[in-house]
Amino acid sequence: MYIHHHTCISPQQTFEHADVETLHESADNKLKAKEPVYKGIPPGILRRMGKAVRMGIGAALPVIKQQSLIDGIIIGTANGGMEDCIKFLNQIIDYEEGMLTPGNFVQSTPNAIAAQMGLLNKNKGYNITHVHRGLAFENALLDAMMMIKENPGNNYLLGAVDEISAYNYNIDLLDGCFKKEIIVNKNLYDTVSAGTIAGEGAAMFVVNDNAENAVATIKAIQTIHTKDEMEVSRVLQQFIQQTLPDNEKVDMLLTGENGDARLLKYYTEVESLFDEYTTIARFKHMCGEYPTASSVALWLVCNRHQWPAHMIKKQCKNSTVRNIIIYNNYRGLQHAFMHIVKYKC
């Protein structure tokens, strides 16, 4: 599956005039998205959109403009419009199920993002929303790979969105997902405590089976559910054996290391599979942790930039980065591997 267009709204300067060298800082253990001025969304509609819907549509609009014909929309989002969802819930409790306005209810369903994209672009094709928490984007990606195989020549909009809402931050904080002490993202990997920092964003891709002018190709993806780091390591070895040609090596391992001391064992185990040939890089200090954060990793691979020093954990000597493995892990249970081949700039 080939990637042709890619956009990203994230806590970093990724949307317009992308500059990933400069690292924008987190505040209160949150990395909030730098939302652009949304051009092309009617103001009346924009005003009613929750942040997740807004970021998703905003990131998708230029992609759709560049590619006049999209045959379907495939979105991964763990929570969709969580802020709207709990606003509606709060109304139910606070007004004791009194007269409620349905706006928040309709906006809060996770499929509202893909639905709005379909609506704004009059797209009557395949339209689906995967919500499998830390593998919502990966399942969307697998779906897109199957669609392309089943429908040669078609183009699909593939993307992921999740937002920080005050509410899901609170729930996840109570659940021990975030650090109790305040840190800044540039020191994310230096901390040894449990928990990470929260993030959000939207990344969109146009994918098809056409190699010409593609920025990258997704060779393979695999997901597993396990708490056993040795099982993760075993499956990754098999994955690489199956997907990587015999005479090639992995140039870069891009991991979802997130500063949570409890999850370090998975990353240590995975990194130990690679020798000095492979550069090891990380991305969660840029976007924070959220269920579909791996979509930002994919955008970073597609983006035509030099790898900024702040991403590099271990630099190897080879200058071209072609074969990339992304390893992401959500809460020590949901793991995903992607093999991406990046084409020369």
Partner 1 sequence: MSRVFVTGMGIISAIGDTVAKNREALINKQCGIAGLTLFHTKYTGLRPCGEIKVETHELKNKLRAHEKGITRSSLLALHAFKEAIADATLSANQLSSRHTALIGASTVGGMCLTDELYNDANKSENGSEYLSSYDCASVDLYLQSRYSMSGVINTINTACSSSSNAIMYGARLLKNGLAKRVIAGGTDSLAKFTINGFNALHILSPEKCTPFDRDRKGLNLGEAAAFLVLEKEEDIAGKKIYAELTGYGNSNDAFHPSSLSDKGDGPFLCMQKALQKAQLPASAISFINAHGTATENNDAVESQAMIRLFGTPPPFASTKANTGHTLGAAGAVEAVFGVLNLYYQEIYPGLHFSNAIEATGLKPETIYRQGSLQHVMSNSFGFGGNCTSLIFSKI
Q: Which residues are near partner 1 by CB under 8 A? A: 73, 78-80, 85-86, 88-93, 96-97, 99-102, 105-107, 109-112, 114-116, 118-119, 121-133, 135-136, 139, 142-143, 146, 149-150, 167-168, 170-172, 174-175, 223-226, 333
- Least separation, in Å, of the C-beta of 221 and partner 1? 10
Residue labelled with tokens 């709207």? 84
Which CB atom, from 239 or from 327, has the smaller least distance to partner 1? 239
At CA 197, angle to CA 75 and CA 303, rounded to 5?
A: 50
CA 65 to chain centre: 22
Instruction: Between 89 and 183, name the residue whose CB sits nearer to partner 1.
Output: 89
Q: In the bound complex, what is the minimum distance in angstroms from residue 247's beta carbon to partner 1?
A: 26
CB of 121 to partner 1, least distance (A): 8
In the complex, least distance from residue 48 CB atom to partner 1, rounded to whole angstroms: 9
Closer residue to partner 1 in complex, CB, 23/157:
157
66-104: burial string, b at 16+ Cβ within 10 Å, e else: ebeebbbbbbbbbbbbbbbbbbbeebeeeeeeeeeeeeb
Q: Across 226-322, where does the E strand assignment appear?
A: 252-255, 279-282, 312-314
d(CA 289, CA 259): 10
C-alpha 282/C-alpha 298 separation (Å) is 12
| Choice between 8 and 164, CB closer to partner 1 | 164
Counting Cβ atoms within 10 Å, is residue 272 exposed (0-12), middle (13-18) or buried (19+)? Answer: exposed
Give whichever of 224 and 312 is closer to partner 1, judged by the CB atom.
224
C-beta of 330: minimal distance to partner 1 in Å? 10
SS3 assignment, position 174: helix
CB of 124 to partner 1, least distance (A): 5
Q: Which is nearer to partner 1, 107 or 323 (CB)?
A: 107
Instruction: Please identify which residue in the block is written with the tokens 């071209």.
Output: 320
